[in-house]
């Protein structure tokens, strides 16, 4: 929801960064890989007992993830870049879940439920994007939902910074992600039948 409705507020800084990196000779794919490595750094930082650094790395990774898409739209696009982008996004999320599970094994069950809800939601998102004849600014149809990447990062940040509320935050994240998957599924039924 925030990705769809609030991006206009951060778009100027995303555009400026994208243009600066392009002038420096960087490609969108290079930034995708760098964003991925920083995102994995968030997981490593959390396991190392540095939650604030983990959150900083997580958000920097997310910012660069937005920048690489803008760079791709202003330069030669690569279909493999789209594959890397979507795959690395999921690996960063999986990394955070694994790091939280490592530090807090007592919430392994709810974290597994959260993982299932993310898989469900992203599966609907990707399949609808693949079969839909609509096209947005991205390489595939972007189906908005209640929980987009920014909401996920907000909830991951709270999970990292507020371990005393970890169980409840994980369950809230699971519910929001499941609702988003169902929302996208019902929208797909309306759009595609």
Residue 59: which of 153, 137, 190 has the closest Cα? 153
Q: Indicate the class that CATH gives domain 2-192.
A: mainly alpha
User: Model-level pTM?
Assistant: 0.88
> Does the pLDDT of residue 5 top 70, yes or no?
no
DSSP string, 82-112: HHHHHHHHHHHHHHHHHHHHHH-GGGHHHHH
| pLDDT, tens digit (0-9, with 9 covering 90-100), for 34-60 | 999 999 999 999 999 999 999 999 999
CA angle 61, 147, 82 (to 5 degrees): 50
Mean pLDDT across the stretch 25-41? 96
What ranges do the domains of the chain cover?
2-192
Of residues 170 and 190, more confidently modeled: 170
| pLDDT, tens digit (0-9, with 9 covering 90-100), for 82-119 | 899 999 999 999 999 999 999 999 999 999 999 999 99
């Amino acid at each position: 929801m925030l990705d769809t409705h609030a991006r206009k507020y951060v778009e100027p800084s995303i555009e400026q960064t994208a243009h600066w990196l392009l002038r420096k000779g960087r490609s969108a794919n290079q930034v995708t890989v760098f964003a991925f490595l920083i995102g994995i750094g968030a997981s490593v930082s959390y396991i190392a007992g540095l939650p604030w650094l983990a959150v900083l790395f997580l958000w920097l990774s997310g910012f660069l993830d937005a920048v690489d898409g803008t760079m791709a739209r202003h330069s030669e696009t690569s279909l493999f870049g789209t594959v890397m982008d979507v795959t690395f996004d999921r690996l960063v999320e999986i990394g955070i879940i694994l790091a939280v599970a490592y530090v807090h094994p007592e919430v392994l069950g709810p974290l597994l439920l959260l993982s299932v809800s993310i898989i469900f939601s992203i599966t609907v998102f990707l399949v609808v994007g693949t079969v839909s004849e609509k096209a947005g600014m991205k390489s595939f149809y972007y189906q908005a939902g209640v929980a987009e990447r920014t909401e996920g990062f907000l909830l991951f940040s709270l999970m990292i910074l507020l371990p005393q509320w970890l169980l409840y935050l994980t369950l809230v994240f699971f519910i929001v992600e499941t609702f988003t998957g169902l929302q996208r599924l019902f929208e797909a039924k309306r759009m595609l039948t």
